[in-house]
Amino acid sequence: MHNIFLINIGHLDINNYFSGLKNFNSISMKLLVCISKVPDTTSKINFVDNNTKFDENGVQYIVNPYDEWYALVRALELVEAQGGSVTTITVGSAADDPTIRKALAIGANDAVRIDADPSDPYFVAKQIAEYAKNESFDIILTGKETINYNGAQIGGMIAEMLNTPFVSLATKLDVANDVATLERDVKGGVEVVEVNTPFVLSAAKGMAEQRIPNMRGIMAARTKPLNVISPVEQEPLSSVVKFELPDAKSGCKYLEPENMDELVELLHNEAKVI
Amino acid sequence: MSVVVFVEVKNKVSKAAMEAVYYGSKLGSVTVVTYGDSSDEILKELGNYGAENILTCRSLNESNDQALTNLIGAAVEKTNAEFVVLAQDQTGKGVGPRISAKLNAGHISGAIDLPDTSNGFVVKTNVYSGKAIAHVALHSAKKVISILPNSLAPQLNQKDANVEEFSPDLGSFGITVKELKSQGDGVPLPEAELVVSAGRGLKGPENWGIVEELADALGATTACSRPVADIGWRPHHEHVGQTGVAIRPNLYIAAGISGAIQHLAGVNGSKVIVVINTDPEAPFFKAADYGIVGDAFEVLPRLTEAVKKFSASQN
Ligand SMILES: Cc1cc2nc3c(=O)[nH]c(=O)nc-3n(C[C@H](O)[C@H](O)[C@H](O)COP(=O)(O)OP(=O)(O)OC[C@H]3O[C@@H](n4cnc5c(N)ncnc54)[C@H](O)[C@@H]3O)c2cc1C
Ligand SMILES: Nc1ncnc2c1ncn2[C@@H]1O[C@H](COP(=O)(O)O)[C@@H](O)[C@H]1O
C-alpha cells in the first residue's frame, strides 16, 4: 500500500502529506543503504585453488548483519515515520540477487546492483559514490564492516569521494528537518553528534533491531525493481594474493580448579603473558 | 622514502602510537602528524620509536574525520610521502578510508604484520572475523596502512625528534560534537593486553564483582558475551565477538562463556586463552590454551587470590 504513494515531487513526496499531519516539519527522506552478501556466520572457512579463492562449497550467503539489522532497519523506520524512500545498492554479480531480494522483502523500495567484482574496497566505494553523486540522497548508510572482509572501509571512502561528513560506528540515528542527531562509539566513550544532511554513516549495534521479513514482504519483493547497471572505469588499487588459515591451537592444557597458583605460574613462565 | 604516521596523543604516548611510529620507521623516514595540546616533551618520546619529525596542530582539539583527513593530506603533501600509517582504532576507522580516497591510495585495513616487499608490496590482514588471514597487495603509488592494535611489538629505534607547529587549512568540520559520554579511564577494550570476560554462566549482573576483582588484580579490562550485553547485564561496549568488538589481547580469560563460533570470531586472535566452564564439553575448550572445568563462582575468586599473591611476590 505504502509504496503506491511514492511519487516524488521534487524533494517532497505524497507520503509526506500523511506523515506531515503528525510531524509538521519533517521532510521526506531519500536514503541509500549499502548491502553486501557474506557467508553465514557459522560457515566453515576454507580456501581452494592454491589458497587463492574462498571455498564456496556448502556455504550459505546472508546479508551482512550490520547492513541488514542496523542500517537497513533504521532507514526503514525513519521513512515509515517521516515518509520517503529506501534504495539499496550492491556492487556484485547476479549471485548477490537473493540477498538483495531479502533486503527488499524486509522493506526497501527498490534496489540497484552494479554488475562488477567487489574485491577492491576503493573500486566498490568509487562505484557507489559515482551512482550516488547524481541522486541527492539525504543519508547513505553502510554497515560497520563486512564480516568476511572486516575492512570497515567503504563508508569513509564514499564520504571522502562525495565530500560529505562520515559518522563512523553510529549506534543511534534520529533526523529532524535536515539535521541528524547520532550517537557513535569513539575512543573511551560515546559521542553525541549533530550533522546536516547529506552525509554517510556506518551502522553498529544498537541502531535498530533485526526484522524478520513476513510472507507479504517476500511476495512483494519479487516484483520490486532491481536495476542492474554497469560499473564506471576504475583500476583496482589492491588485490588478495592468497589466504592462509591461522595456526591451529596445539591443544588445551587442563588444570584442577583448586590449583590456580599453578595457572598463574604457567601464565607467567610458560605463556609469558603476565 | 618518506612516511607520514598519524597518531593521537592524550597525556601520554599510547601503545598504539608507538606501534604506528615503529611500523612507519620500517618503511622509511617518519614524519609524525598529530593534534591537540600535548607538550613537546611528551611528543618527543615518539622519537624513541623512530620519529624524526613531529608536526602538531595545536589549534585542533577534536577528533574530526574531515579535519584530520585534511591535516594528514597536508602533511603528505609537505613531505611528499609515499606512505601513511595509522592505528586501526575508532579514529582510524573513520580517517583511514577517507585519507586513502583523498590520496587515491590503496588501503590495508588492519595490518597484522610488516609488509613483504620481495614481490610487490604485500601486507597480511585478518579476514573472515579472524578465521583467516589474507595477503593483500597494494598497486597504487601512495599507500595507506592501518594497523590492528597489539599486532607487533614496537622496538626502540632512537631518533632525536624535532617538534614543529603545523596548521594547514582544515576545511569544514561537518560534524558538531554535542556531548561525550565517557566510559571511564580504563584501557579501552581494543587496546587492552589483558582481558577478563564472562557470559551467561555468571547468572546475573549482581555477580560481576568476582569478574571485576580478577580484572583489577591483573590490571585487565572487562568484556562480555553478546547475550549478556543484550539483556543489559553489562554495557554494550563490553560485548566482544563477530557483532561486537574484535580484540586480540595477550591474555583472554573467559568464564561462563560457551564459546559459540560468533563469540570466538572476536577473540580468536588472542595470544593465550584461558577458559573456565562447568561443562567439559563446552566448545570454547577447543580454542583454549588453558582450561579449567569448574564453577566460575569458586574458580574466579581463587584465581584472583593467586594473582594477588603472585603480584606481591614480584615486588
Ligand atoms: C549472527 C550472530 C552473531 C552473533 N554475534 C555474537 C557476538 O558478537 N558475540 C557473542 O558473544 N555472541 C554472538 N552471538 C551469539 C552466540 O551464538 C551465542 O549465543 C553467545 O555467544 C552465547 O553466550 P554465552 O556463552 O554467554 O551463553 P551460553 O551459550 O548460554 O553459555 C553459558 C556457558 O556458561 C557455562 N556455565 C554455566 N554456569 C557456570 C558456572 N557456574 N561456572 C562456569 N561456567 C558456567 C555453561 O556451561 C555454558 O557453556 C551471535 C549469534 C548470531 C546468530
Ligand atoms: N560489494 C558491496 N556492495 C555494496 N556495499 C558494500 C559492499 N561491500 C561493502 N559494502 C558496504 O560497506 C560496509 C563496510 O564494508 P567493508 O569496508 O568491506 O568492511 C558494509 O557493511 C556494506 O554496507
The string of pLDDT tens digits covering residues B225-236 is 999 999 999 998
User: Taking 60 as the threshold, does the pLDDT of residue A14 lie above it?
Assistant: no
Residue A145 Cα: closest atom of ligand 2: 19
Which pLDDT does position A21 carry in this prediction?
42
Percent of chain A with pLDDT over 70: 90
C-alpha cell at A119: 574485491
Kindly indicate the confidence band of residue A23, based on its pLDDT and cuts at 50, 70 and 90.
very low
C-alpha cell at B232: 543489559
- Cα–Cα distance between A195 and A191 in angstroms, integer? 13
* Amino acid at site B23: Y
Which pLDDT does position B19 carry in this prediction?
94
ipTM of the complex: 0.86
Which pLDDT does position B230 carry in this prediction?
93
Which pLDDT does position A268 carry in this prediction?
96
Residue from the list A240, A267, A273 with its beta carbon closest to the beta carbon of B134: A240
Tracing cell 604484520 back to the chain, one arrives at B113
User: Taking 70 as the threshold, does the pLDDT of residue A12 lie above it?
Assistant: no
Q: How far is the CA of B74 from the centre of ligand 1 (A)?
A: 47
C-alpha cell at A262: 599453578
Q: Which residue has a Cα nearest atom 11 of ligand 1?
A: B225
The answer to whether the CB atoms of A257 and B243 lie below 8 A apart is no
Kindly indicate the confidence band of residue A26, based on its pLDDT and cuts at 50, 70 and 90.
low
* Residues A207-229: tens digit of each pLDDT: 999 999 999 999 999 999 999 99
**Mean pLDDT across chain A, nearest whole number?**
90
| Ligand 2 proximal residues by C-beta, below 6 Å | A 34-36, 64, 66-67, 89-92, 118, 121, 124, 142-143, 145-146, 149-155
User: Taking 80 as the threshold, does the pLDDT of residue A2 lie above it?
Assistant: no
Are A85 and A18 spatial neighbours (Cβ–Cβ below 8 Å)? no
Question: How crowded is residue A123: how many other Cβ atoms within 10 Å of its Cβ?
Answer: 21
Kindly report which listed range (B12-16, B47-51, B211-215, B226-230) carries the lowest average pLDDT score: B12-16
User: Taking 80 as the threshold, does the pLDDT of residue A20 lie above it?
Assistant: no
Which pLDDT does position A22 carry in this prediction?
41
Over residues B220-248, the mean pLDDT reads 93
Over residues B207-231, the mean pLDDT reads 97
Q: How far is the CA of B196 from the centre of ligand 1 (A)?
A: 15
Contacts of B267 in chain A (CB under 8 A): none
* Residue A214 neighbours by CB under 8 Å, 6+ apart: none
Question: How crowded is residue A231: how many other Cβ atoms within 10 Å of its Cβ?
Answer: 17
Q: How far is the CA of B285 from the centre of ligand 1 (A)?
A: 13
Which pLDDT does position B185 carry in this prediction?
67
Kindly report which listed range (A105-109, A186-190, B195-199) carries the lowest average pLDDT score: A186-190
Chain B interface test: which of A150, A161, A197, A261 (most B C-beta within 10 Å): A150
User: Taking 80 as the threshold, does the pLDDT of residue A27 lie above it?
Assistant: no
- The DSSP bridge partners found for residue B106 are B143
- pTM score of the predicted model: 0.87
**Which is nearest to B130 in space by CA: B246, B260, B224?**
B246
**Which is nearest to B189 in space by CA: B151, B145, B220, B143?**
B220
User: Taking 90 as the threshold, does the pLDDT of residue B102 lie above it?
Assistant: yes
The answer to whether the CB atoms of B174 and A165 lie below 8 A apart is yes
User: Taking 60 as the threshold, does the pLDDT of residue B31 lie above it?
Assistant: yes
Over residues A22-35, the mean pLDDT reads 76
User: Taking 50 as the threshold, does the pLDDT of residue B116 lie above it?
Assistant: yes
Kindly report which listed range (A14-28, A118-132, A186-200, B146-160) carries the lowest average pLDDT score: A14-28
Q: Which residue has the higher pLDDT, A9 or B269?
A: B269
Which pLDDT does position A195 carry in this prediction?
97
Over residues B3-15, the mean pLDDT reads 93
Over residues B207-223, the mean pLDDT reads 97
Chains A–B, number of C-beta pairs less than 8 Å apart: 268
* Residues A171-189: tens digit of each pLDDT: 999 999 899 999 998 877 8
Q: Is the dihedral of CA A259, A264, A265, A270 positive or negative?
A: positive
Question: How crowded is residue A30: how many other Cβ atoms within 10 Å of its Cβ?
Answer: 20
- Helix, strand, coil shares of chain B, percent, nearest 5, are 35, 30, 35
* Residues B158-179: tens digit of each pLDDT: 999 999 999 999 998 999 999 9
Distance from CA of B289 to the nearest CA of A (A): 5
Q: Which residue has the higher pLDDT, B239 or A10?
A: B239
C-alpha cell at A13: 513526496
Kindly indicate the confidence band of residue B103, based on its pLDDT and cuts at 50, 70 and 90.
very high
User: Taking 90 as the threshold, does the pLDDT of residue A135 lie above it?
Assistant: yes
**Mean pLDDT across chain B, nearest whole number?**
94
The answer to whether the CB atoms of A168 and B272 lie below 8 A apart is no
**Which is nearest to B115 in space by CA: B235, B1, B205?**
B1
Q: Which residues of B110-139 are buried (b: 16+ CB within 10 A; e: fewer)?
A: bbbbbbeeeeebbbbbbbbbbbbbbbbbbe
